[in-house]
Amino acid sequence: MRDVVSCADQDLLSRIAAGDQGAFNVLFERYRNRIFGYLFTIIKSKEAAEEITLDVFLKIWEGRAAAMEINHLEAFLFRVSRNKAVDFFRQLQKSREEQTALWNRMQEQLTTGAADHALLFADVATAVRQAVDKLSPQRKMVFQLSREHGLTYEQIAERMQISSNTVRNHLAASLQFIRSQLDTTYQLTALYFLLKP
C-alpha cells in the first residue's frame, strides 16, 4: 500500500483504470480536502459541499475506464467541481423559481374568495399538525426548528448538540412519516411544497 500512496497522479489513474480500488482511495485522500475547501468557498454550505465532493470522485470511479485520458488530474478535478457547483446553483435557482410560482398560485387561490380552497388548506395544516404531534420528541423538535423557526441544519445541530447529518436524517424521516399520515386527498403539489426537505 505504501508504494501506492507515493504514486504520481498518472500512475494512480493507470491503476484506477485497471479497477484498483486502493489506488482510488489514495487519490480520494490526496484531493478530497482541497476539493471540499474549494466547493465550500463557493457554495457556503458544508452539507452541499460534502455531497458534491463525493460526486466529483464518484465520477472518476464510475468513468475509470477512461481515467488514462485525464492529462492533468488536479485541473480536471477542479473543473468538474466548478461545473457541479454551477449545476447546484442552477438547480437551486430553478427550485426557488418553481416554489415562488407555486406559492403565488396558492395565494391567488386563497384570496379569490374560494372558500373551499381555504378550507382545504386549513384541513391540510391541521392534518400536518396532527402528524407532527405523533413524531418522537427529538424528531418533532427538529421539524419545528426547521419548518416553524426557519433554522438551518447547522443551527439546529448546535442547539440540539447533534450532527448536521443527524438533523438532515431526522428531518427526512419526519417528512416521510408526515406524508404517510396524510389522506390521499391532501397529496397536493402544494403540500409537497410545504413539506419539501
Q: Which domains does the chain have, with CATH numbers?
A: 2-90 (1.10.1740.10), 113-194 (1.10.10.10)
Please answer whether residues 43 and 37 qualify as being in contact, where contact means their C-beta atoms are separated by less than 8 angstroms.
no
The position carrying cell 447529518 is 165
Is the whole-model pTM more than 0.75? no
Q: C-alpha 145: how far from its chain's center?
A: 18
What's the mean per-residue pLDDT of the chain? 80
- CA distance linking residue 25 with residue 33, whole number of Å: 13
At 27, the pLDDT band (50, 70, 90 cuts) reads very high
Nearest to 196 by CA among 95, 67, 55: 95
At 117, the pLDDT band (50, 70, 90 cuts) reads low
Residues 174-194: tens digit of each pLDDT: 877 877 776 554 544 334 444
Q: Which ranges constitute the DSSP H helices of the chain?
A: 2-5, 9-17, 21-43, 46-62, 73-111, 115-133, 137-143, 153-160, 164-181, 189-194
